[in-house]
Structure 1
Amino acid sequence: MKTSEYISFTIDRLPKGYVFTYADFTTEVNKKEAVIKALNRMVESGKISKLSKGKYYKPESTPFGKLQPSQAQIVKDLMENDGKIIGYLTGYSIYNQLGLTTQVSNTIQIGKKEVRTAFKRERFTISFVKQKNTITKENIPLLQLLDVIRYIQKIPDTSPEFSCKRLLAILKDLSEKDKNTMVRLAFKYPPATKALLGALLDELNESILAESLYKTLNPITKYKLSVDKVLTKTEKWNII
């Protein structure tokens, strides 16, 4: 089978919106140029689209035009390395996903242990948030919630009070195991994050879990978060 036929056959079997590079088709150095040329010809013919240098995707056509890949596909190379998870989506896309805002952003934020300077990829700005915890597939939803708590005052087109109400509903539905894991993960977050998580858990009568966070805080430090209209025990947590 010719290189172009092999690539065409493989792409036909890929799901719509899947992002790939020439490396997905060959590991042989002498075939690299042939693969790149074949992919670029497919871009010209409209069979595939180019996301950025060396990155292509199989577009999904709608009456309104071709759809972009999902944000997870656009940055998947930054979140996985040889099958190991090293990052996760956070920030704006998660605020939207959790119903905290309806605003759609052109910035994709990624939580990682090793961060780098923000850069552009197509129409998106890719930025990074430092994550001190080990990232696993299981704890990503909890890390995303902790990031929401950490940046609660920066969520666009909403208020900290509204976000707190939504967080209370989400935390209430978590299993006891997940709540315990979330508290453990919170130990590596800033004090204000621990204070707000503690106040949220206190509101849900999870006093034992909340107390473990309370013991880590400086009793004279104040946290200006403007959530006292929703949470009834902010004074205990020095939240003003």
Structure 2
Amino acid sequence: MSALEQLKMHLQKGQVYRRDDLVKWSRSVDRHLHALLKEGVLQKLSQGVYYYPKNSVFGQTPPEEETLVRSFLKDDRFLLTSPNLYNALGVGTTQLYNQRTVYNHKRHGKFKLGNRVFDFQMKHHFPEKLTPEFLLVDLAGNLDRLAEDQQQVKNNVLSKAGNMNKTELRQTLNQYGNGKAKRLLAPVLT
């Protein structure tokens, strides 16, 4: 069995690999990567990031966003979010955005991974999972980035904040809110 075939045995469909991940299975990683790309076994997503596509009845599926981001960051500590998630709060946001935000501890800036652009934002603190309280605090801190009528959304955010669990919201605001969010929501929580 060739070294390339041995490397292929370690690869799993649907997984994202960094070049560094493959070094443990190959002595000629660059040559093998070139061969795997040429064969269509792997797809290059970004500099040093590759995907082994899964097949479905509709063709090849793209990598799962969490798998892609985890491999890119080499870290599990991140929170993947989108302005689209604000729509679930019922505060008047209805736009659909082709934007993904990744709160993390390592990277800052916009990075294209495959055919998707991710906005990586370094933050010291963010929750492990999304909650309605975090989404409201995040929305309050990012009102100026929205396409909707900001004054109307702001009024709806204040109304929504008044109807939420004040203790949870206050704790979330103190832990994760930026200055804009704190200035907007603090008066409602006193």
TM, length-normalised to structure 1: 0.56
Residue-by-residue CA offset, 1:4-23 (whole Å, 9 max, x unaligned)? 23332222xx352x211232
Letter in 1 for 2:141: R
1:134 counterpart SS class: coil
Residue-by-residue CA offset, 1:160-196 (whole Å, 9 max, x unaligned)? 435836x939x73x695x434303215x621x31133
Determine the structure 2 residue equivalent to 1:197: 185
Instruction: Identify the match of residue 96 of structure 1 among 84, 108, 123.
Output: 84
Letter in 1 for 2:175: L
Identity %: 17
Instruction: Identify the match of residue 111 of structure 1 among 96, 103, 117.
Output: 103
Once residues 152 and 71 of structure 1 are traced to their aligned partners in structure 2, the CA distance between those partners, rounded to angstroms, is: 25
1:25 counterpart SS class: helix
Once residues 30 and 108 of structure 2 are traced to their aligned partners in structure 1, the CA distance between those partners, rounded to angstroms, is: 28
Change (3 A) 1:101 1:39: farther
Residue-by-residue CA offset, 1:98-146 (whole Å, 9 max, x unaligned)? 43445242x5433345654544444444434352x434525x6565543
* Residue segments in structure 1 that go unaligned for 5+ positions in a row: 203-209, 212-240
If asked which structure has higher relative contact order (CA below 8 Å, sep 6+), I would say 2
Matches within 5 A, 1:32-181: 32-33=27-28, 35-62=29-56, 64-77=58-71, 79-81=73-75, 85=77, 87-90=78-81, 94-99=82-87, 100-105=93-98, 107-112=99-104, 116-131=108-123, 133-135=124-126, 137=128, 141=131, 145-156=136-147, 158-160=148-150, 161=152, 164=156, 168=160, 172=164, 176=167, 178-181=168-171
Determine the structure 1 residue equivalent to 2:18: 21
Once residues 139 and 112 of structure 2 are traced to their aligned partners in structure 1, the CA distance between those partners, rounded to angstroms, is: 24
Change (3 A) 1:80 1:49: closer
Once residues 137 and 118 of structure 1 are traced to their aligned partners in structure 2, the CA distance between those partners, rounded to angstroms, is: 22
Instruction: Identify the match of residue 182 of structure 1 among 169, 172, 183.
Output: 172
CA contact (8 A) 1:113 1:130 kept: yes
RMSD: 3.8
Count of matched residue positions in the alignment of Structure 1 and Structure 2? 181
Once residues 142 and 3 of structure 2 are traced to their aligned partners in structure 1, the CA distance between those partners, rounded to angstroms, is: 49
Determine the structure 2 residue equivalent to 1:6: 6
* Residue segments in structure 2 that go unaligned for 5+ positions in a row: 88-92
Residue-by-residue CA offset, 1:197-223 (whole Å, 9 max, x unaligned)? 336xx4xxxxxxx11xxxxxxxxxxxx
Letter in 2 for 1:103: L
Once residues 78 and 50 of structure 1 are traced to their aligned partners in structure 2, the CA distance between those partners, rounded to angstroms, is: 12
Once residues 114 and 21 of structure 1 are traced to their aligned partners in structure 2, the CA distance between those partners, rounded to angstroms, is: 16
Q: Which has the larger radius of gyration?
A: 1
The answer to which structure has the higher helix fraction is 2
